[in-house]
Structure 1
Amino acid sequence: MTETQKMLNDMNDRSREVFRRVVEGYLDSGDPVGSRTLTREFSEKVSAATIRNVMQDLEFMGLLGSPHISAGRVPTQLGLRMFVDGLLEVGVPDESDREKIDATLGSNETDVSGILDRVGSALSGVTHGASLVLTPKREAPIKHLDFVPLGPEQALVVIVFADGHVENRLFQPPPGQTQSSMREAANFLNAMIEGHTLSEVKTVVQHEIENRRQEIDTLSQALVQSGLASWEGAGDSPERLIVRGRANLLDETAEAGDLDLIRSLFDDLERKRDIAEFLNLTQAGDGVRIFIGSENKLFSLSGSSLVVSPYMNADRKIVGAVGVIGPTRLNYARIVPIVDYTAQLVGRMLSDRSER
């Protein structure tokens, strides 16, 4: 049982109801919720003074906060987490929302990346937030790889797949590496990785490192331990991050300080080469995950929330992710089922295409 679930179980019915109404009121309007507003909404006769006392207790517990001197309260990050974990009621997407998402996959287009571009646009349009789509990793077996030095602190690894596809990835080699040492490292790796996919390579070579740690060239170790280098560029790679709806998120944010933080977030996203972090966020289990504020290091500075779900291929392997970024005042009850539906739809699309 998580900390927030235990806190929720320890609350009496009145405290739980006051808390729920404060959070729902805040998510609906974005404004602090006061005791007089709640007094009018309660079915039973409860005085404003009683509700104020309950709200003070919830504030002492760290679940509510007072953004201004006024009597109104808003949920804290801890409060939003408790609401999402224990009180959020999630249904199914509206029929109109489903139709808009379905329409993106209705063509006979063979380019998966092009389809996912449209999925990102549709997801942004439906949710009025910023959408994220991480396109699938290439899972074809590797034929061989080569290292090309580009300077004292940068090199290129050229990966040739068995299907003829070629990828270039940048990495920073350990100090003192020469063209000769890079060639030896490539020969060492090629002797064991041929026929393996990228997702298998790290396990294969890591096992060899453990068995022959003293013999293995430092460059080979560094490459494998860092995840086989980084993408040369998101736009040129089969694994790339599609960001749609930046303007939606900026328009939803009224405070000038928040705008600066959101712009900083997107500048970081657009510069970020190691975009596989989004997949790492979803590895703990199937289904939608919700990250609020600083719970996710990628969005901690912007105060944003991320609702993200992985999608799988025909072999039930996680190959990508879809998600929505928005302010912490998201309509979680609506966004969660939309993200879940989109992820399942993309997964089915990939599975159907692999069977053709």
Structure 2
Amino acid sequence: MLKKDGNNALRGLDERSGEIFRRIVESYLGNGEPLGSRSLSRLLPISLSPASIRNVMSDLEDLGLIYSPHISAGRLPTQQGLRFFVDAFMQVGDLSQDERREIERQMRPDGRDVPVENALTGATQMLSSLSRGAGLVITTKSDTLLKHIEFVRLSPEKALAVLVGDKDEVENRIISLPAGVTASQLAAAANFLNAHLSGLTLSEARGRIDRLKETIRSELDQLSRDLVERGLAIWSGAEEDGKPARLIVRGRSNLLDGLEGEEDIERLRLLFDDLEKKESLSDILNLAEGGQGVRIFIGSENTLFSLSGSSLIVAPYRDSEERIVGAVGVIGPTRLNYSRIVPMVDYTAQLISKLAGKI
């Protein structure tokens, strides 16, 4: 039986229930087919009747971990079940030396360092060939380090936001001003940005501003706070001004395998549409930046691809100063082999970081 544990019933899987749940998920990840009680009774290391197994499956359904796609059919894991499996059951092993050498060979065919662009292309091809999904890499131009920011009023409704980089490159953008903003508020917003963001990249500055919300509230009035956010947002949208982050995708044809019916085809169309949107690139980078190492987003957990129900396994890569300058990963159906793909993505990101660090 399942032990219900107050706020976290999922914590209460006993050994028998856990084994049945694990077999259902592993069967789904292996062949995509639902697993029934009779098949389970032959697979389990313990002797259980189909009736007993059905009772356990009913409890697992009550917990939202599995579901029946058809009446009298076997069971498949839900997205919640897949997340629980990844967090509680999945064992991520290290790559063997042969696997590491194969990844290195595909990224550096002649055994020598190659331009990062070539390595990125090789990485996507390699990840797509080793997974059921599509390999993807996002690369951005090296972020400018902020040196100075200034706002110059052009009219009552417009101002020029001036950004000076560490190599004295200058970028100007026109922003809309909040109604009633004064010259002193323009100066206060610029002074705040210069005091707190000098020496940071734009991506680092976004994170710093998020962490300084309480400080902003205490030091600036409402109109100055609005200017701070507008000034930073105008550069954060730089990909719209002809300086896009670049997306490399290989293996889209892998996503065509196993499609059944119009519903699957529509989900794939939605995924391809999402991949073509410019804003998706910064969103994927933000997902990668959200934690250390490899991150796994299953189905609707990833708002970027929630309509297509796709899963994303992604890791950031860094330059010589440990700044995140891109991301590498695999996108595909929820039936990805997570335990095998996670260490591949992790090692690939490490290799690209080494190459990027030599630039």
TM-score w.r.t. length of structure 1: 0.78
> What is the CA deviation profile of residues 68-104 of structure 1, one whole-angstrom value per residue up to 9, with x for unaligned ones?
1133000011111111111112223355543343131
**3-state SS in 2 of match to 1:273:** helix
- Name the amino acid aligned to 2:315: S
Name the counterpart of 2:145.
141
The equivalences for 1:179-258 within 5 A come to 197-199=201-203, 201=205, 203=208, 213-214=220-221, 220-224=227-231, 226=233, 228-233=235-240, 236-237=243-244, 239-258=245-264
Deviates more, 1:260-269 or 1:47-56: 260-269
Deviations 1:16-72 (A, max 9, x none): 111111111111110110111111112332211111111111112111101011330
How many residues in Structure 1 have an aligned counterpart in Structure 2?
Answer: 343
Structure 2 match to 1:180: none
In the alignment, which residue of structure 1 is the partner of 2:183?
Answer: none
Q: Please say which of residues 189-198 and 325-334 is displaced more in the overlay.
A: 189-198
Compared with structure 1, are the counterparts of its residues 200 and 70 closer, same or farther at alpha carbon in structure 2 (3 Å cutoff)?
Answer: closer
Quick check: 1:113 aligned with 2:117? yes
> Which residue pairs with 2:107 in the alignment?
104
Q: 1:65 aligns with which of 52, 64, 67?
A: 67
Q: Any conservation in 1 of the 2:131–2:337 contact (CA below 8 Å)?
A: no
Offset from partner CA, 1:298-342 (integer Å, 9 cap, x none): 111111111112223334343322111111111112111111111
> Residue deviations 1:228-265, cap 9 Å, x none?
3413459743x333222222112343333122112212
Equivalences for residues 33-52 of structure 1 within 5 A: 33-52=35-54
Unaligned ranges ≥5, structure 2: 181-185
Structure 1 segments unaligned to the other structure (5+ residues): 178-182
Residue 123 of structure 1: aligned partner: 127
How far apart in 2 are the matches of 1:191 and 1:91? Answer: 45
Q: Which amino acid aligns with 1:271?
A: K
Higher mean Cα deviation, 75-84 or 122-131? 122-131
The alpha-carbon distance between structure 1 residues 109 and 172, as it changes in their structure 2 partners (threshold 3 A), is farther
Structure-2 separation of matches of 1:253 and 1:223:
44
Residues 1:330 and 2:332 are matched in the alignment: no
Pick one of 336, 347, 355 that aligns with 1:349: 355
Q: Residue deviations 1:147-183, cap 9 Å, x none?
A: 99xxxx99997866444767798x8746889xxxxx9
RMSD: 4.0
Structure 1 residues 194 and 333: CA distance shift in structure 2, 3 A? closer
Percent of residue pairs bearing the same amino acid type: 47
Within-5 A mapping of 1:71-82: 71-82=73-84
- For 2:117 and 2:187, the matched residues in 1 are separated by 36
For 2:312 and 2:339, locate their aligned partners in 1 and report how far apart those are by CA, in whole Å: 14
Q: SS in structure 1 opposite 2:45?
A: coil
Structure 2-normalised TM-score? 0.78
* 2:62 is the counterpart of 1:56: no
Q: Residue type of the partner of 1:243?
A: V
Q: Is the 8 A contact 1:5 1:86 kept in 2?
A: no
- Provide the C-alpha distance between the structure 2 equivalents of 1:323 and 1:141, rounded to a whole number of angstroms: 26
Partner residue, 2:21:
19
CA spacing shift, 1:113–1:154, aligned 2, 3 Å: farther
Q: Where does 1:282-321 land on structure 2 (aligned, <5 Å)?
A: 282-321=288-327
- Which amino acid is 2:341 matched to? I
